Amino acid sequence: MIDAAELKRRTAELLAAHPPATTDRLDFLRARFDAGLAWVHYPEGLGGLGTARSLQAVVDAELEAAGAPDNDPRRNGIGLGMAAPTILKYGTDEQKQRYLRPLWTGEEVWCQLFSEPGAGSDLAGLGTRAVREGDGDWVVNGQKVWTSSAHNARWAILIARTDPDVPKHAGITYFLCDMTDPGVDVRPLRQITGEAEFNEVFLTDVRIPDSRRLGEIGDGWKVAQTTLNNERVAIGGMRLPREGGMIGPVSKTWRERPELRTHDLHQRLLKLWVEAEVARLTGERLRQQLALGQPGPEGAGMKLAFARLNQEISGLEVELHGEEGLLYDDWTMRRPELVDFVGRDAGYRYLRSKGNSIEGGTSEVLLNIVAERVLGLPSEPRTDKDVAWKDLAR
């Protein structure tokens, strides 16, 4: 097993062969991947060295101290946090070799084609169809919605219905979709903030080779669980410094604007500051548990806490600013690559936080997941689980 000392030695070799100050950013990232220092817990040849996930922090610290470039993880969060672990677990050797390196270096951005207008919370009820022509390509038709980064993405992870004659969870297959293929139409969805951070995607006779199927035919729901569990951890377990995230701007305003303070707001701020710190430390503990394997349903609890906390903090911030908190006059139609909470005003943060309880799984659905899969409570009666999808009322 490779230990911390060996990782430091290999990192020093990388830095000596590719000095960050004189090496092209992309060339450095490719060299880092090839050296196994991208994801140290991934297998050799796929950006890793097959060692403990917890040792990634050793590599990251050495590279940060040397001023090495990172792979801009926020820009390709769906690829890094959701697509990559799913491809690693279910992909063929050819798929892993083809997709993981340009995904990690950021050369190819990914998006997620899961939710639909009639299948958001009930994702397994999706209606996008993939029909196979003999033993060849799959032809996909349907509509997806709330797709972050689709306007920047080269690839998408896609689930589609391949068998309408079986219950809804059983007739789904998982694909990798080229967003530049004919028939893929990306349209902006303007949000309450004025931005079009999300998209709707129309798929019309999109041809996907069977070589881009991930997992077995009909196993798409099982494959998607790996994606969804990683998604909830990625959203709810983001690594933040103390006073990171939305609590930071509120604390800063409190210190700099004493004239805005009241006793009631002070008590609420203290309560939320403590909760934000608890959430940060819980996220650190969750990441340590991830070092032992794939994330489980516990990530749903973190994502729930993240959504509620952000919404309460943003509401407090608006109240703290008084009349100023109601100001929000930038309704420019933008297509941002990144969501920037800290660099915007209180009004933006308040409006944007409303989406936190929807994206990555609605809070209502996540409460069910925590109840049933974490706490072991009885499941709610579901009359549609054994009915063929084609016979369900829609």
CA 336, 339, 344, 347 torsion-angle sign: positive
Q: Tell me if residue 245 falls in helix, strand or coil.
A: coil
Contact 8, 58 (CB under 8 A): yes
Q: Is 298 a catalytic residue?
A: no
Sort 218 into a burial class: Cβ within 10 Å, 0-12 / 13-18 / 19+.
middle
Of 168, 167, 157, 178, whose CA–CA distance to 114 is shortest?
157
Per annotation, catalytic residue among 62, 197, 200, 231: 231
Cα distances (Å, whole numbers) of residue 267 to 151, 237, 254, 317, 346: 43, 26, 12, 13, 20
Q: List the alpha helices (DSSP H) in 185-297.
A: 220-236, 247-256, 263-290
Cα distances (Å, whole numbers) of residue 274 to 205, 303, 313: 52, 17, 12
Q: Tell me if residue 87 falls in helix, strand or coil.
A: helix
Q: Which residues are annotated as catalytic?
A: 231
